[in-house]
């Protein structure tokens, strides 16, 4: 991988496939590995509500999202942006905060537009951005805007099947 531009690790190409907690935990590992292997840039995880068809209980879904946020911090993702207003997304953010992220390392935003504002203001050459959402949390606008920006060269990397 080149150091110039940004890299976007996206789950959007999996139409009809659930993007669940286990999948995203693996993708966070991929994100950290890509960033570490390159030796430059920062890692960004932009995550909306994830699919959890096996978890009918709202408390169980919130706990699963909390675990994703905590893992991102344990693996040293530089910035976790939780996107949405559901209880599960708030739990994702809270998990990151409780695991030790603070300030602008863990952000909670209402929608994709707000996430893009942050990325546009802070992203730089060499950064790797994971964009992950289940069916209820469409983040395709984030991926498309990153790829279409005139500010940098963006390379789309399809998330590996898990």
Identify the pLDDT of residue 3: 54
Q: What is the pLDDT along the chain (162 residues), one digit of tens a residue?
A: 445 689 998 876 444 457 888 989 999 999 999 999 988 899 999 999 998 877 778 899 999 999 999 999 999 999 999 999 999 999 999 999 999 987 889 999 999 999 999 999 999 999 999 999 988 888 989 999 999 988 888 888 866 665
pTM for the full predicted model: 0.92
- 78 closest CA partner among 49, 110, 101, 50: 101
- Residue 119's SS3 state is helix
Identify the pLDDT of residue 1: 43
For residue range 90-108, list pLDDT tens digits in order: 999 999 999 998 788 999 9
Identify the pLDDT of residue 15: 45
Identify the pLDDT of residue 136: 80
Cβ atoms of 43 and 35 within 8 Å: the answer is: yes
% of the chain residues with pLDDT over 70? 90
Q: Which residues pair with 6 in a beta bridge?
A: 154
Cβ atoms of 160 and 77 within 8 Å: the answer is: no
Region 6-158: CATH code: 3.90.190.20
Helices (H) and strands (E) in the chain, counts: 5, 6
Q: Which residues pair with 47 in a beta bridge?
A: 82, 132
Give, in order, the Cα–Cα distances in Å from 97 to each of 11, 16, 21, 94, 152. Answer: 24, 32, 18, 5, 30
**Distance from the first to the final alpha carbon of the chain:** 22
Q: Which residues pair with 147 in a beta bridge?
A: none
Identify the pLDDT of residue 132: 93
| CA pair distance 14, 16, nearest whole angstrom | 6
Q: Which residues contact 150 (CB under 8 A, 6 or more apart)?
A: none
Transcribe 55-82 into DSSP letters: --SHHHHHHHHHHHHHHHHHTT-SEEEE
């Amino acid at each position: 991988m080149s150091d110039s531009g940004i890299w976007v690790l996206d789950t959007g190409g999996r139409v009809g496939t659930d993007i669940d907690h286990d999948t995203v935990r693996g993708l966070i590992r991929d994100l950290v590995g890509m960033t570490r292997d390159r030796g430059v840039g920062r890692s960004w995880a932009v995550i909306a509500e994830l699919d959890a068809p096996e978890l009918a209980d709202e408390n169980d879904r919130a706990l699963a999202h909390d675990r994703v946020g905590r893992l991102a911090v344990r693996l040293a993702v530089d910035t976790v942006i939780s996107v949405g207003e559901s209880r599960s997304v708030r739990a994702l953010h809270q998990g990151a905060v409780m695991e030790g992220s603070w300030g602008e390392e863990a952000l909670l935003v209402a929608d994709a537009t707000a996430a893009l504002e942050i990325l546009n203001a802070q992203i730089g050459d060499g950064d790797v951005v994971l964009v992950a959402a289940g069916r209820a949390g469409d983040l395709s606008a984030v991926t498309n805007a990153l790829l279409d920006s005139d500010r940098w060269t963006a390379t789309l990397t399809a998330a590996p099947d898990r």
